[in-house]
Amino acid sequence: MAITLLDPEGLPKAGVYRQVSVATGSKLVFIAGQVAWDADGTTVGAGDLATQVEQCYLNIATALAGAGGSFDDVAKLTVYVVDWTPDKMEQFLEGAARAAAKLGVTPVPPGTLVGVAALDVPEHLVEIEATAVLD
């Protein structure tokens, strides 16, 4: 595995992700921001943040598989959430947990969550992009 996740002493323990990702592989994979589209381009979970987060994670997993990797190879996630407020964290975590259960992984790479005014289409509530490193 090309990624080692760490929580160095002196940094707070976030619990839902690790603070540092050390990559030792040689193949970088950049996954475009994934939204809650299924394979046919239909939005999944209109109005439901948890369901949309789950679909984004599943789409990332599909993209990674196409590149020969898995969520274990993710070095960093960047998450964009429409009209973010801290009370949405529970829904976000629920969607991530459901995706993790389906994928059989614990996706805890370093991440950045950014609140945004809007995404590509009005029914999309979240977009997630990933950077991965493969051996």
3-state secondary structure the chain: CCEEEECCCCCCCCCCCCCEEEECCCEEEEEEEECCECCCCCECCCCCHHHHHHHHHHHHHHHHHHCCCCHHHEEEEEEEEECCCHHHHHHHHHHHHHHHHHHCCCCCCCEEEEEECCCCCCCCCEEEEEEEEEC
* Domain boundaries defined on the chain: 1-132
- The overall pTM is greater than 0.75: yes
Spell out the CATH class of 1-132.
alpha beta
Percent of the residues in the chain that have a pLDDT greater than 70, as a whole number: 100
pLDDT interval class at 31 (50, 70, 90): very high
Q: Looking at residue 55, what is its pLDDT?
A: 98
**Mean pLDDT over each residue of the chain, to the nearest integer:** 94
